[in-house]
Structure 1
Amino acid sequence: MSMTADDPVLYLVACGGYPAADLPAFVEYAQGAGWDVCVVATPSATGFLDAGRLAELTGHPVRSAYKRPGEPDVLPPADAIVVAPATFNTVNKIVAGVSDTLALGLLNEAVGAGLPIIIAPYPNSALAAHPAYAASIATLRSWGVRLVIGRPGDPRAGADQPGRENTAFPWDDLRTALATLRTVPPRGADADS
Structure 2
Amino acid sequence: MADTASHPVLYLLGSAAPPVLGVGPVIGRARAAGWDVVLGLTPTAASWLGGEVARLEALTGHLVKSRYRRPGEPDVLPPADAVLFAPATFNSVNCLALGLTSSWVAGYTAEAVGKGLPVCVVPCVNPALAGHPQYGRSVAALRGAGVDVLLDADRPGVDDRGDEGPPDFPWDAALARLGRASALRAAGPDLG
TM-score normalized with structure 2 length: 0.86
Shift of 1:173: 2.3
Structure 2 residue ranges without an equivalent (≥5): none
Structure 1 residue ranges without an equivalent (≥5): none
Closer, same or farther in 2 for the Cα pair 1:143/1:191, shift >3 Å? closer
Q: State the partner residue of 1:91.
A: 93
Q: State the partner residue of 1:149.
A: 151
Shift of 1:179: 3.0
**Percent identity of equivalent pairs:** 43
Q: State the partner residue of 1:135.
A: 137
Contact 1:148/1:177 (<8 A) preserved: no
**Root-mean-square deviation (Å):** 2.4
Task: In structure 2, give the amino acid aligned to 1:58.
Answer: T
Contact 2:20/2:87 (<8 A) preserved: yes
Shift of 1:81: 0.2
Task: In structure 2, give the amino acid aligned to 1:115.
Answer: L
Q: State the partner residue of 1:72.
A: 74
Please give the secondary structure, in 1, of the residue aligned with 2:186: coil
Q: Per-residue displacement from partner, 1:86-141 (whole Å, max 9, x unpaired)?
A: 01001000111111121111111111111110000000111111110000001111
Q: State the partner residue of 2:186.
A: 185
Task: In structure 2, give the amino acid aligned to 1:39.
Answer: L
Closer, same or farther in 2 for the Cα pair 1:68/1:103, shift >3 Å? same
d(CA) in 2 for partners of 1:95, 1:4: 30
1:59 to 52, 61, 79: 61
d(CA) in 1 for partners of 2:80, 2:4: 14
Contact 2:10/2:36 (<8 A) preserved: yes
d(CA) in 2 for partners of 1:172, 1:73: 29
Q: State the partner residue of 1:124.
A: 126
Shift of 1:182: 4.1
d(CA) in 2 for partners of 1:141, 1:153: 18
Contact 1:8/1:185 (<8 A) preserved: no
Contact 1:119/1:146 (<8 A) preserved: yes
d(CA) in 2 for partners of 1:191, 1:54: 35
Closer, same or farther in 2 for the Cα pair 1:160/1:13, shift >3 Å? closer
Contact 1:121/1:148 (<8 A) preserved: yes
Closer, same or farther in 2 for the Cα pair 1:129/1:141, shift >3 Å? same
The runs of 4+ residues in structure 1 deviating greater than 4 Å are none
- Which stretch shows the higher mean deviation, 164-173 or 29-38? 164-173
